[in-house]
Amino acid sequence: EDTGDESESKAVLPIEVPSDAKIWRFLRAYQYDVDLAATRLRRQTLWRATPAYGLDIPVRDIRADTLGVPEQAATGKAYVLNGTDLKGGPIVVVHVRRHTTQPQGQDDVTRFGVHILESLEARLASLAEAKGLGSDPDADPDSKLCIIFDLSAIAMVNMDMKMAKRIIYMLTHFYPERMGVCLLLSAPALFSAAWMVIRPWLHPRTQERIAFVKPADLSAHLPNEAIPTFWGGGDAGPYPEPERI
């Protein structure tokens, strides 16, 4: 299984010392199984200190200018919205149609995925600080991510199952208890076969946080001012507008 996780064999020092709030998040994620939570937290801190995904720098040092990240960002396939969802969490949009299995490799996309997730971590920290809770991204346990996968107009070439499995692994093991809701937007019939494969990869509690929606349903999760104008809301971005086919 190609998860890209090389933390056990190539970890470097120093590793980060987790905050008390982060320890509590891992305990919640693993239902207060102390041994499992400790094992997964150790693995996550090693992963962040490990050169991986074709880089000679630790994962935690991936930035907007890291090798391959600018090229992925230029496609407009994923970005963080300006606003927050109805529960105060950051929102990321992924336009699946803008991703194909070629010409980039899995490591290129993974580095970009880490950059997006770390940008969301930084946003959680700034939201917590604005509430007077300090700059720890784990300071507000009620602030979680809203992930919108725009599935409109996708074709077979866009359904990268290997990449989907790697991203799920990364979210599950390295960013547990981060996702509040995942919205699968405008899914065509073509996606039903892929969903039958993807769904068993997800923990039952994660499955409960996923909803199939249309643009008109976004207001149940996002305030109007946080919905991009191309989906009928009030946020003018600027964002790369999805294709109309």
CA distance 161 to 222: 28
State the sign of the Cα–Cα–Cα–Cα dihedral 77, 78, 82, 87: positive
pLDDT digits (tens, 9 = 90+) for 186-199: 999 999 999 999 99
Mean pLDDT over 84-95 rounds to 97
C-alpha distances in Å from residue 224, one per residue of 55, 68, 80: 40, 34, 16
What percent of the chain has a predicted confidence (pLDDT) above 90? 87
Mean pLDDT over 9-32 rounds to 87
The SS3 call for residue 179 is strand
pLDDT digits (tens, 9 = 90+) for 33-47: 999 999 999 999 999
Mean pLDDT over 50-78 rounds to 94
CA distance 91 to 110: 19
Could you tell me which of 139, 206, 138 has the C-alpha nearest to residue 172?
206
CA distance 143 to 111: 24
Which own/partner pairs from 83-86 qualify as long-range (CB within 8 Å, at least 24 positions apart)?
A: 83/222, 83/223, 83/225, 83/226, 83/235, 84/127, 84/146, 84/226, 85/146, 85/180, 85/181, 85/221, 85/222, 85/223, 85/226, 86/221, 86/222, 86/223
Could you tell me which of 117, 137, 115 has the C-alpha nearest to residue 126?
137
> Which amino acid is present at 77?
K
For all residues of the chain together, what is the average pLDDT?
92
pLDDT digits (tens, 9 = 90+) for 201-236: 999 999 999 999 999 999 999 999 999 999 999 999
- Cα angle at 228 between 101 and 68, to 5 degrees? 30
Q: Is 132 left (phi over 0), alpha (psi -120 to 50) or beta?
A: left
The pTM of the full predicted model, rounded to 2 decimals, is 0.92
Half-sphere exposure of 39 (CA within 13 A, CB side): 6
